[in-house]
Chains A and B, each alone.
Chain A
Amino acid sequence: RKEVEQDPGPFNVPEGATVAFNCTYSNSASQSFFWYRQDCRKEPKLLMSVYSSGNEDGRFTAQLNRASQYISLLIRDSKLSDSATYLCVFSTSGTYKYIFGTGTRLKVLA
């Protein structure tokens, strides 16, 4: 099983739609979780951390399910500017390394 798996997409959604991505991880010792956003030919940027109790930042909601070992990202009221690749990232206690998923591509259509 891969360390982290994401559906590569693309997810093509109309403006205003709600879209959700999942990301599964195999290492149960993983402790820190994040969602990053990467625009075409740009560096990844931190979108939000993912906390055990779930967290929200405006139109974005992130959740962690430790029992099933996945994190999710929900985007409400999608905007054209949300079009990007979304990377899930996690790190394991005692290491300095962050593991990146290959990303899920989102296209928001007018």
Chain B
Amino acid sequence: SQTIHQWPATLVQPVGSPLSLECTVEGTSNPNLYWYRQAAGRGLQLLFYSVGIGQISSEVPQNLSASRPQDRQFILSSKKLLLSDSGFYLCAWSVRGAAHYGYTFGSGTRLTVV
């Protein structure tokens, strides 16, 4: 069966520090991968999605970047965190070419920038 791993679960980082969040998927090949952010009390905002190794699409201009060095690995990064980067970061995967299956999310990383 397919599983998605995301870590760390919580993170407190000072303003201006770098960030690296990692997400890996097991049990499937060629998944579509996504990074979402959910600010406190708000909806999910799509940050990046990827349909293959090295293929990254950015949805909103921001202080973050994403990379997909391997088929089932998706990394979210920042060189210098801002206070506004605080939020609940969720990685998700879906079956490529099968939108009717929906997403499966990782357990999320709660980031607080202080």
Considering the complex, give the chain A residue whose CB is closest to the CB of B90: A43
Contact across chains for B102 and A32 when beta carbons are under 8 A apart: yes
- A10: Cβ under 8 A from any B Cβ: no
Per-position 1/0 for A25-64, Cβ under 8 A of B: 0000001101010000111111001000000000000000
By secondary structure, the B interface counts as strand
A68 to B107, CA, bound (A): 35
How many B residues face the partner with a CB closer than 8 A?
22
8 Å CB interface, A81-110 against B: 87, 89, 91, 93, 95-98, 100-103
Contact across chains for A96 and B51 when beta carbons are under 8 A apart: yes
Contact across chains for B102 and A96 when beta carbons are under 8 A apart: no
Knowing A34-B102, A98-B103, say if A43 contacts B108 (CB, 8 Å).
yes
A93 to B99, CA, bound (A): 8
Per-position 1/0 for A57-78, Cβ under 8 A of B: 0000000000000000000000
Knowing A42-B108, A49-B102, A89-B102, say if A96 contacts B43 (CB, 8 Å).
no
A110 to chain B, nearest CB (A): 25
- Residues in chain A within 8 A of chain B (CB atoms): 31-32, 34, 36, 41-46, 49, 87, 89, 91, 93, 95-98, 100-103
- Residues in chain B within 8 A of chain A (CB atoms): 32, 36, 42-44, 46, 49, 51, 59, 88, 90, 94, 99-100, 102-108, 110
